[in-house]
C-alpha cells in the first residue's frame, strides 16, 4: 500500500540522451530563429560571428559548464544549490526564480499567438494573404496585385499580414492606458498551452524526460524542411549574402559587442538557474564536461542554420517586391507573425509551409516554457522537501502556480496586452539582470568557493579535468565581460517605446524598474538578513556563510587527503 506520508524520491534522468535532449530543448528556442539571424545581419553580417564566438568562448561555455556542474554536484535546484555551496549568495537563486516567474507569465502568450496562427493556417485561403477583409483598412495593398502589374510598393501602404497581426489578432489599442476587452481567441489558445505544459511536466522528470524525445527533435525536422524550401526560392542567394556579408568596420562599435553578449547569455540560458536545476537531475558521474561542449556547439550551429532558413525566405520576399532586404528584414514577433507569414503566402502550397513554420515555433517555445516552469517548481520543492515531495503535492503546486501565472497573463491578452507584454520583456527579464547574476556567480564560485576546487569536482564527476582556461574565465574574464556589458547596458538605457512611435507614460517605466529591482534586490537583502541573524561576531558570521555544507560529496582528491590525515579511518 502507498503511504501518503512517504517522501518521494527526487528523481533523475533515465539516460544521458534524455538529459541532452532536455537541455537542448531549453537552450534552443525562439531567440535562435527570430533574434540571432537579424542581429547577425544588422551588426556586420559574417563579421558579427567574431564577437559572438569570442563571447561564447569567454562567457557562454564557462558559465554553461559551471551551472550544470553546480546542480549535478549538489543534486539541488537553483536556490538550495547556493545554500549548500555558499549560503551568503543564496539570493542569486531567489533572483533567478523570480525572473523565471515573470518569464512564465509572458512567454506563454507568444505560444498562444503561434497556436492561433497555426489554426488559421488550415484555412483554404490564408487570411493574411490578401486585403478585403473586415479588419483591413484602405491603406492595405495586395502585393500579389502589385507584382502582377509590376508596380512598386507605396510607402504609405500596409501589408495584409501587418493588418491581420495588428487589427485582427491583437486589435491593438491606443496605449497601455487602454487595455480594452480580452481577445477570447488568444485566451483559448493560452489556456490550451497551459494545459499542454501542465500535463507534460506534472510528474517531473518522469514525464518531461519522455516528452522531449518529440518536442526537442521535431523542430529540427521542421527547420530542415523550411531550410530546403527557402534555398530553392528565387532571391534566396541574395538574402543569404545580406545575412553573412561581412562589414568589419562595425567591429569597432561597442554596441555590436554588447548585442553579442546579450544574445549569448539569453540563448545559452545562463544566469537564471535553469541549467542548475536541470543539471541537478543528473547522476553524479555524468560527463557534464563533454555534454557542455556538444550542447553549446548545437546551440550556436542551430542559430547559424536558422539564419539561412530565415534570410533565404526574406531574400525571396525582397526579390518578389523588388526592394532591398532592409525593407523586409524583421526580428522577434515581427518576423514570426508578419514577415514570415507574408512570405509563405507568396509560395505555392502556402498552408503547408505556414503549418510547418508555426509547429516549429510552438515546439521551440514549449520546451523553453517547460523548463522555466520546472525551475520554479523544483526550486520551491527543494526548499521544503518533507512537505512537498509527497504524493500529489507536486501536481497541486504546479496547478496553483499555473493558475497564478495565467491569471496575471490575462492582462497581456487584452487589446492593450502587447504593451504590457513588452514591459515584462523589457524590464523583468532584461539583460542587465542576467549580466549581474552571471558576473556575481562567477566571482563567488571563482574566488570564495574556489575555481580550482570546482575543477577538482568536475574532474571527479566527469573523469576529465577542465582546462585551466575555465578557471581563468570564472575568476577574471567572465566577470570582466559581464561588468563592462552591465555598465554599457545601464549607460545606454532608454525609456521604453512601442514601434518607435508610442512612448510609455513615466509611471510605466517606474513600475518596470520596480519589477527589475524586485528580483535583483534579493541578493543583497538576503545576504544582509543572514549576516544580521547569524550567531557569533560579524567576522565569524561571514566565514560561516561563505563555507559550503558539510554533507556535500567528497571528491577523490579530498578522500585521499583525508586518508593521509586519518589513516586508521581507512
Is residue 145 predicted with pLDDT exceeding 70? no
C-alpha closest to that of 71 among 454, 468, 526: 454
Report whether 267 belongs to an annotated binding site.
Answer: yes
d(CA 288, CA 272): 19
CB 82 within 8 A of CB 92: yes
| Confidence bin at 47 (pLDDT 50/70/90) | confident
The pLDDT of residue 370 is: 92
For residue 6, is pLDDT > 80? no
Q: Name the one residue in this structure whose C-alpha cell is 532591398.
A: 324
Map grid coordinates 540571432 to a residue: 36
Q: Per-residue pLDDT for 153 more than 60?
A: no
Q: Which of 41-45, 286-290, 329-333 has the lowest mean pLDDT?
A: 329-333
Residue 302 reports pLDDT greater than 90: yes
In 3-state terms, what secondary structure has residue 445? helix
Q: What is the mean pLDDT of residues 312-337?
A: 82
Measured distance CA(402)–CA(458) in Å, rounded: 36
User: How far is residue 135's CA from residue 133's CA, in Å, rounded to a whole number?
Assistant: 5
Give residue 152's pLDDT.
Answer: 52
- Positive or negative, the CA dihedral 452, 454, 458, 461 is positive
**Mean pLDDT (whole number) for 96-115:** 94
Count how many residues are written for the chain.
Answer: 570
How distant, in Å, are the alpha carbons of 207, 295, 372, 402 from that of 191? 20, 32, 17, 10
Say whether 368 counts as a known binding-site residue: yes
Flag whether pLDDT at 342 surpasses 80.
yes
Higher pLDDT, 326 or 182: 182
Nearest residue to 127 via CA among 138, 112, 142 = 142
pLDDT for the residue 34: 82
Dump pLDDT digits (tens) for 185-226: 999 999 999 999 999 998 888 888 889 999 999 999 999 999
What pLDDT, on the 0 to 100 scale, is given for residue 3? 59
Backbone angles phi, psi at 140, to 5 degrees: -70, 130
Give the helix/strand (H/E) hosting 475.
Answer: none
For the record, the C-alpha cell of 520 comes out as 535583483
14 annotated to bind ligand: no
- Cα gap 146→168, rounded to integer Å: 23
If pLDDT is split at 50, 70 and 90, which confidence band does 569 have?
Answer: very low
pLDDT digits (tens, 9 = 90+) for 234-265: 999 988 988 888 888 888 888 889 889 989 99
Torsional class of 443: left (φ above 0), alpha (ψ -120 to 50), beta (otherwise)? alpha
The Cα 39–Cα 228 span in angstroms is 22
d(CA 218, CA 210): 14
**pLDDT for the residue numbered 1:** 45
CA 492 to chain centre: 23
The string of pLDDT tens digits covering residues 370-385 is 999 999 999 999 999 9
What does the pLDDT read at residue 350?
92
The whole-angstrom separation of Cα 362 and Cα 91 is 33
Supply the DSSP symbol for 48.
G
Tell the residue number behind the cell numbers 516567474, with chain if given: 101
Q: Number of helices (H) and strands (E), helices first, in the chain? A: 30, 2
For residue 492, is pLDDT > 60?
A: yes
348/429: higher pLDDT:
348
pLDDT exceeds cutoff 80 at 146:
no
- pLDDT value at 325 more than 50: yes
Please indicate whether residue 493 or residue 151 has the higher confidence score (pLDDT). 493
Asked if residues 236 and 230 have their Cβ atoms less than 8 Å apart, the reply is yes
Rounded mean pLDDT, 344-348: 88
Mean pLDDT of 53-67: 95
User: Residue 22, annotated ligand binder?
Assistant: no
Q: Which residues pair with 140 in a beta bridge?
A: 158
pLDDT, mean of residues 456-482: 95
Alpha-carbon distance of 299 to 443, in angstroms, equals 25
* 103 annotated as a binding-site residue: no
531 is in an annotated binding site: no
Are 86 and 449 in contact by the 8 Å Cβ rule? The answer is yes
Confidence of residue 280 (pLDDT cuts 50, 70, 90): very high
Helix (H) or strand (E) run with residue 497 in it:
strand 497-498
DSSP secondary structure letters along 230-260: HHTSTTHHHHHHHHH---GGGGG-HHHHHHH
**Residue 4 carries which DSSP code?**
T
Average pLDDT, the chain: 89
Consult the annotation and say whether 550 binds a ligand: no
Q: Tell me the DSSP string of 7-35.
A: PPP----SSHHHHHHHHHHHHSSHHHHHT
Residues 6 or more apart whose Cβ sits within 8 Å of residue 314: 239, 325, 328, 329, 339, 343
The x, y and z cell numbers of residue 335, run together, are 518576423
Instruction: Specify whether the CB–CB gap between 362 and 111 falls below 8 A.
Output: yes
Q: Is 28 annotated to bind ligand?
A: yes
Is the pLDDT at 570 greater than 50, yes or no? no
Give tens-digit pLDDT for 530-560: 999 988 899 999 999 999 998 898 888 888 8
Residue 37 has what pLDDT? 86
195: left (phi over 0), alpha (psi -120 to 50) or beta: alpha
Q: Is the pLDDT of residue 96 over 80?
A: yes
C-alpha span between 162 and 175 (Å, rounded):
18
Q: Average the pLDDT over 62-74 and give the result.
A: 96
Q: Which of residues 147 and 181 earns the better pLDDT score?
A: 181
Is the pLDDT at 457 greater than 50? The verdict is yes
Amino acid at each position: 500500500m502507498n503511504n501518503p506520508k512517504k517522501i518521494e524520491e527526487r528523481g533523475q534522468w533515465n539516460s544521458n540522451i534524455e538529459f541532452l535532449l532536455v537541455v537542448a530543448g531549453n537552450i534552443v528556442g525562439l531567440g535562435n530563429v527570430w533574434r540571432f539571424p537579424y542581429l547577425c545581419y544588422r551588426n556586420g553580417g559574417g563579421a558579427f560571428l567574431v564577437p559572438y564566438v569570442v563571447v561564447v568562448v569567454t562567457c557562454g561555455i564557462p558559465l554553461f559548464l559551471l551551472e550544470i556542474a553546480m546542480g549535478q554536484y549538489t543534486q539541488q535546484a537553483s536556490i538550495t544549490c547556493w545554500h549548500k555551496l555558499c549560503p551568503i549568495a543564496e539570493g542569486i537563486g531567489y533572483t533567478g526564480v523570480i525572473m523565471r516567474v515573470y518569464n512564465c507569465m509572458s512567454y506563454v502568450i507568444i505560444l498562444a499567438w503561434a497556436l492561433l496562427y497555426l489554426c488559421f493556417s488550415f484555412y483554404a485561403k490564408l487570411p493574411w494573404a490578401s486585403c478585403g477583409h473586415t479588419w483591413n483598412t484602405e491603406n492595405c495593398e495586395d502585393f500579389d496585385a502589385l507584382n502582377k502589374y509590376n508596380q512598386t510598393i507605396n510607402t504609405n501602404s500596409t501589408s495584409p499580414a501587418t493588418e491581420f497581426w495588428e487589427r485582427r489578432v491583437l486589435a491593438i489599442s491606443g496605449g497601455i492606458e487602454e487595455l480594452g476587452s480580452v481577445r477570447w481567441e488568444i485566451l483559448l489558445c493560452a489556456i490550451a498551452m497551459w494545459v499542454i505544459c501542465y500535463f507534460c511536466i506534472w510528474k517531473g522528470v518522469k514525464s518531461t524526460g519522455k516528452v522531449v524525445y518529440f518536442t526537442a527533435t521535431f523542430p529540427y525536422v521542421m527547420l530542415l524542411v523550411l531550410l530546403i524550401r527557402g534555398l530553392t526560392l528565387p532571391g534566396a542567394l541574395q538574402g543569404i549574402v545580406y545575412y553573412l556579408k561581412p562589414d568589419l568596420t562595425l567591429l569597432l562599435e561597442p554596441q555590436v559587442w554588447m548585442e553579442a553578449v546579450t544574445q549569448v547569455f539569453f540563448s545559452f540560458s545562463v544566469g537564471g538557474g535553469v541549467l542548475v536545476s536541470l543539471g541537478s537531475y543528473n547522476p553524479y558521474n555524468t560527463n557534464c564536461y563533454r555534454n557542455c561542449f556538444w550542447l553549446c556547439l548545437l546551440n550556436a550551429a542551430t542559430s547559424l542554420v536558422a539564419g539561412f532558413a530565415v534570410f533565404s525566405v526574406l531574400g525571396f520576399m525582397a526579390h518578389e517586391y523588388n526592394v532591398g532586404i532592409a525593407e523586409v528584414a524583421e526580428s522577434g514577433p515581427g518576423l514570426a507573425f508578419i514577415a514570415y507569414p507574408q512570405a509563405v503566402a507568396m509560395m505555392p502550397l502556402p498552408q503547408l509551409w505556414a503549418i510547418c513554420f508555426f509547429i516549429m515555433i510552438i515546439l521551440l517555445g514549449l520546451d523553453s516554457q517547460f523548463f522555466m516552469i520546472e525551475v520554479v517548481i523544483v526550486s520551491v520543492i527543494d526548499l521544503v522537501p518533507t512537505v512537498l515531495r509527497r504524493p500529489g503535492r507536486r501536481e497541486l503546486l504546479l496547478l496553483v502556480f499555473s493558475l497564478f501565472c495565467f491569471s496575471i497573463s490575462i492582462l497581456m491578452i487584452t487589446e492593450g496586452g502587447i504593451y504590457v507584454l513588452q514591459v515584462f520583456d523589457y524590464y523583468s527579464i532584461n539583460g542587465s539582470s542576467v549580466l549581474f547574476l552571471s558576473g556575481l556567480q562567477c566571482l563567488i564560485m571563482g574566488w570564495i568557493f574556489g575555481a580550482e576546487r570546482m575543477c577538482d569536482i568536475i574532474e571527479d564527476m566527469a573523469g576529465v579535468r577542465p582546462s585551466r582556461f575555465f578557471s581563468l574565465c570564472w575568476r577574471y574574464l567572465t566577470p570582466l565581460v559581464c561588468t563592462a556589458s552591465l555598465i554599457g547596458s545601464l549607460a545606454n538605457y532608454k525609456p521604453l517605446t512601442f514601434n518607435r512611435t508610442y512612448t510609455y507614460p513615466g509611471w510605466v517605466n517606474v513600475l518596470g524598474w520596480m519589477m527589475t529591482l524586485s528580483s535583483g534586490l534579493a541578493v543583497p537583502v538576503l545576504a544582509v538578513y543572514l549576516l544580521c541573524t547569524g550567531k557569533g561576531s560579524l567576522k565569524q558570521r561571514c566565514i560561516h556563510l561563505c563555507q559550503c555544507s558539510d554533507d556535500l560529496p567528497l571528491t577523490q582528491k579530498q578522500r585521499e587527503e583525508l586518508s593521509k590525515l586519518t589513516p586508521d579511518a581507512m
